[in-house]
Structure 1
Amino acid sequence: MELRRRELQGEPSGWDAAVHPVLQRIYAARGVLQPDGVAHRLQRLLPPQSLGGLDAATELLAEAIRGDWSILIAGDYDCDGATGTAVAVRGLRMLGAKHVGYAVPNRFVHGYGLTPALVDSLQPCPQLIVTVDNGVASVAGVARARELGMRVIVTDHHLPGEQLPDCDAMVNPNLAGDGFPSKALAGVGVMFYLLLALRAKLRGQGMFAAEAPDLSVLLDLVALGTVADLVPLDFNNRVLVEAGLRRIRSGRACAGIAALVECGKRSMATLCASDLGFAVGPRLNAAGRLEDMQLGVECLLIDDAAQARRYAGELDTINRERRDLQASMVAEAEVMTAGLRDIDSVGVALYEPSWHAGVVGLVASKLKERLHRPVISFAPASEDDLEHLRGSGRSIPGFHLRDALAMIDARQPGLIERFGGHAMAAGLSLRAVDFPRFAAAFDAAARELIAPERLQAALYTDGELPAGSLSLELALQLRNAGPWGQAFPEPLFDNLFECAHWKPMGEGHWRLGLRDPRDGSIHDAVMFNVGTTAPPSRLRAVYELVVNDWQGRESPRLLLRHIEEPM
């Protein structure tokens, strides 16, 4: 692992003296040089008017509300899709729609998105379908819905293919020519923007006898879906996430999110974006991976706290099963890829007939981190369909995964049955008999598109913390700053330490006292998943400076992410 220091993108200026100089430096390394760049007020949210497709979509939705149509939200089976579905159902009901239902495809029965199979399962047929976090690739599904007399609005954020579905309206910031400045909206963010535009249209049409509904009550859901989908936290997304976190911290989260936070043993009062990503999102995602995301959506829609806790408990149980299954599959994948660096594979495709299709993306993510190569993991499409495979891939910086799949598809038509996704994550399906041919094609594409130097794993840090600055004051400022996340990374530091003392903690974890040789101060530290070996007596540690809250007493702690013995 090569350690690299983030470079300042300019000189910070205009900051209040109360903002720690280290935090000013951290912001400058992320391109934020002045306080205005972290003033995440809702008033600074990009206006909806610049998002393409809203006029047609809001006109049709306004007609549906006036005509008392039946509206069905067609969601997706991940956290972004589940939160987006809940935002759509709650928001449309707030805006006057009386007959709003939802459907989420079962990945093992219907496949991904608005498929013909999902459309045919809708009984009775709704008058209007609104997709969330899917639909841009649902050419056949939209055609089937239109054939049956349904109107269709597609809201999505995934990259479009060569052919778009013949829908009544489409809202997607990533369509060619769309002028919306932020292309990083998650699916739930696109839906929230549609609701903002719809409220403005209905207000202009005199639909509200009193004050228009306050849609900010949905921002806890928007924040969760945005963080969990790992979209870049550009300024606009940070505004959305910070507003949602403020609602949660103030005790105004919906019952389902409150229950999931409780299950994850996190504090509502100090919840941060990483808690959404690591404690709340996975519990919601587990339902879509192993069973049916309907349970997750119901958890987010219910207003009864006791029922929400029951749903969250069920999701927690499923998530424990997911973790066990994932650990087993990752162990098998590591055996399969042992020595892979020695045989010069660049694009890695893995397939094991016993694997679970709902967990292959997590396997790809773990192997990508270990190998620092793009990885796609495959499993049978279902227990009853061993002839087709479903794959989920994760990439490294500099290799656009969806574009690579498009290149393979263009060069070998028919090899891939279906694909879609983003630069860093994508999904696809193909015939089991074609797996060897795809594996070779994927490796060839990766060799062609990835420069050799990009295969060297690098860990970027914000440099050394000065002696005496590993304080509770700075730890609190770092916790309250951000929100940190994808493309706006959590601060990491690296310093040389001496191990003053240590002891095992739980199974395979360390609790340490690290001495700073510059001033002799000793700092509390922990490191997880390190096995049974002892730490070295001298080490360079990459760490987060966090707040340890134990029995109401706060203290600074170093959360170690990587260690190595100094040269």
Structure 2
Amino acid sequence: MIHKIVRRDKVDDSHLPHTLSPLLRQIYASRGSTALDCDLSLKRLLRPDTMHGIVRAAEIIADGIRDQRSILIMGDFDADGATSTCVCLLALKMMGATRVDYLIPNRFDFGYGLSPEIVAVAGQKGAELLITVDNGISSIEGVAAAKAMGMQVVITDHHLPGKTIPDADAIVNPNQNDCSFASKSIAGVGVAFYLMSALRAELRTRNWYEEKGIAEPNLAQLLDIVALGTVADVVALDGNNRILVEAGLQRVRAGRCRPGITALLEVAKRNPSRIVASDFGFAVGPRLNAAGRLDEMALGVETLLCDDMMTARRMASELDGLNAERRDLEADMQQEALKSLEKLELDEDKLPWGIALFKEDWHQGVIGILASRIKDRYHRPVIAFADAGNGEIKGSARSIKGLHMRDLLELINSRHPGMILKFGGHAMAAGLSLLEKDFFTFEQAYDEAVRELLKPEQLTGVMVTDGELTPGEMTLPMAWELRNAGPWGQEFPEPLFDGYFKVVQQRIVGEKHLKLVLETNCGQLMLDAIAFNVDMKTWPDATIQHARVVYKLDVNEFRGNQTLQLMVDQIEPM
């Protein structure tokens, strides 16, 4: 799908430091950055005590450590859940907790969150204090079951709460209505890190470290894990999240990160000393997620917890294999989905505004990625469903800008009470369960609701660029400046440019990637470029001699040499 190209307006950037290049000043200013935002030092992190419920949660956990209660961390089966689990487990042990363990539900046996069934497993493990990470805000029945068994429950989550919240002993979630914590887009791992910071302070006031003869832990040691989970969960990189991510990236570049992260970067063929945020998002995160998608997320957690480099490399290799298997599954499912939409695609009027897909042999662990791929192709909100057993199907939803997916599901639920068995999530991603027999009814209700909430023009994809670069700006030093000016990510997008070029050379490499040599219109400069996963029906084509290209400036490193390369996001023949 060719997206409409919209260039950002020029804005006043005089408030930003003049030590930055004019191009970078304009890029920062167009993203709403202030001079203060350019300072990503840890001293600028928001204070933990502004997060509602965090003081009470820290007191409960401190009491649990003091009383040597059995503490169980209840995680989630994605990268955010795995990193949250690791942060809490490592921090608690550094603070002297002697009875602490973790449990992550298998998505195929227990589904998402603190369900009564997984609480029963926790009971079998002797849990006395449950700490949920990256889940729990919608676990009303699960919390009730835990309380009935005599457990204390502390919820840490970042997902949007429903109308009713669980009766937990403490809830730490910046998206609660009464929470004044400014970073509403913090990831689950960020919430977990903040709770551990508050716990460290609480134990300090009790003279715990002096009495036990242990050093007060430096929690900055965990920021590589926090950065990984934050980027992998694709939360908005507001100022606070950028500080957390940048601090974690600095630890990795300095060689002071967990062996498991180093090993995952190695199998992904990334250089730790030159890592950027996108390496977490596109290389490490998917390999970590593969464990929870196809097997047990415990493998991902143990990889991050591992202290031995050789063992970490072995586990990272297993995760790499699972990720390759995941890619194959996803490719097959995507082909099936596209075939089912082919007839509709021929007639744009018949293509649903809200696309719902279901095939009973699809894999539960991959439907989220499938929904994302189909959403990118058609620029429509997509929900992909897989069989969940016992007559139920489980869906994973991905939205487009302008449509809040969780609110949409809330609207459908209000109109069709009981049809959606359960749901939850964010603006851009959500999950839900239905009875298979209700799929057709849901499909219609979903499309109708999307048509009410969106306007036709919102179904056209838009690429927002930072304009056209001059030949003098297309340099290796500029590519390095932009690369190091991050972290870039969700809601703080990496600089994207567009321009018109002469296509000098074009050839396919690696099955479906287009390698190009482009010449600027004025003929001053020849540039290497690469476009991944191109439409093989269009490319290569020797008759195409000019194109409008949307691209990022990139540094290509090969055999010790560094050259400038354009990473092509869209190429439109002219």
Scaled to the shorter chain, the TM-score interval is over 0.9
Percent identical residues: 50
- Verify the 8 A CA contact 1:134 1:157 in the aligned structure 2: yes
Deviation, structure 1 residue 9: 4.6
Partner of 1:100: 100
Question: Cα deviations across residues 473-526 of structure 1 (Å, max 9, x unaligned)?
Answer: 100001101100000001110011111223332212222211112243101111
SS in 2 for 1:391: strand
Q: 1:292 aligns with which of 291, 296, 303?
A: 296
In structure 2, distance between residues paired with 1:157 and 1:434: 30
Deviation, structure 1 residue 10: 3.2
Counterpart amino acid of residue 155 in structure 2: V
Partner of 2:502: 498
Partner of 1:221: 225
Deviation, structure 1 residue 357: 0.9
Question: Cα deviations across residues 198-218 of structure 1 (Å, max 9, x unaligned)?
Answer: 111111111112652100000
In structure 1, distance between residues paired with 2:322 and 2:478: 38
Question: Cα deviations across residues 1-47 of structure 1 (Å, max 9, x unaligned)?
Answer: 21011224533434234x2211111111101143x222110000001
SS in 1 for 2:73: strand
Partner of 2:15: 13
- Verify the 8 A CA contact 1:361 1:394 in the aligned structure 2: yes
For the aligned residue pairs, the C-alpha RMSD in angstroms reads 1.2
Partner of 2:376: 369
Deviation, structure 1 residue 531: 5.1
TM-score (norm 2): 0.96
Deviation, structure 1 residue 449: 0.7
Deviation, structure 1 residue 528: 1.6
Write out aligned runs for 1:11-90 (5 A): 11-17=13-19, 19-34=20-35, 36-90=36-90
In structure 1, distance between residues paired with 2:111 and 2:535: 39
Q: 1:526 aligns with which of 526, 530, 537?
A: 530
- Verify the 8 A CA contact 1:9 1:30 in the aligned structure 2: no
Q: Which moved more, 1:498-507 or 1:481-490?
A: 498-507
Counterpart amino acid of residue 475 in structure 2: S
Q: 2:268 aligns with which of 254, 264, 267?
A: 264
Are 1:547 and 2:558 counterparts? no
Matched residue pairs, number?
Answer: 561
Partner of 1:317: 321
Deviation, structure 1 residue 342: 3.1
In structure 2, distance between residues paired with 1:354 and 1:33: 50
Q: Which moved more, 1:408-417 or 1:5-14?
A: 5-14
Counterpart amino acid of residue 359 in structure 2: E
Write out aligned runs for 1:115-514 (5 A): 115-122=115-122, 123-209=124-210, 211-338=215-342, 339-340=344-345, 341-381=348-388, 385=389, 387-514=391-518
- Verify the 8 A CA contact 1:8 1:30 in the aligned structure 2: no
- Verify the 8 A CA contact 1:524 1:557 in the aligned structure 2: yes
SS in 1 for 2:274: coil
Unpaired runs of at least 5, structure 1: none
Deviation, structure 1 residue 155: 0.3
In structure 1, distance between residues paired with 2:429 and 2:72: 28
Counterpart amino acid of residue 552 in structure 2: E
In structure 1, distance between residues paired with 2:512 and 2:355: 29
Deviation, structure 1 residue 180: 0.6
Partner of 1:562: 570
Partner of 1:2: 4
- Verify the 8 A CA contact 2:471 2:524 in the aligned structure 1: no
In structure 1, distance between residues paired with 2:448 and 2:533: 34
Counterpart amino acid of residue 55 in structure 1: V
In structure 1, distance between residues paired with 2:398 and 2:151: 36
In structure 2, distance between residues paired with 1:389 and 1:124: 30
In structure 1, distance between residues paired with 2:200 and 2:504: 60
Question: Cα deviations across residues 397-420 of structure 1 (Å, max 9, x unaligned)?
Answer: 110000010111111110000000
Deviation, structure 1 residue 286: 0.6
Question: Cα deviations across residues 537-565 of structure 1 (Å, max 9, x unaligned)?
Answer: 10110001001111112111101110112
In structure 1, distance between residues paired with 2:466 and 2:16: 21
Q: Which moved more, 1:442-451 or 1:529-538?
A: 529-538
In structure 2, distance between residues paired with 1:14 and 1:282: 36
In structure 2, distance between residues paired with 1:308 and 1:137: 34
In structure 2, distance between residues paired with 1:231 and 1:321: 26
In structure 2, distance between residues paired with 1:277 and 1:8: 29
In structure 2, distance between residues paired with 1:348 and 1:464: 35
Deviation, structure 1 residue 299: 0.6
Deviation, structure 1 residue 162: 1.2
- Verify the 8 A CA contact 1:9 1:31 in the aligned structure 2: no
In structure 2, distance between residues paired with 1:232 and 1:67: 39
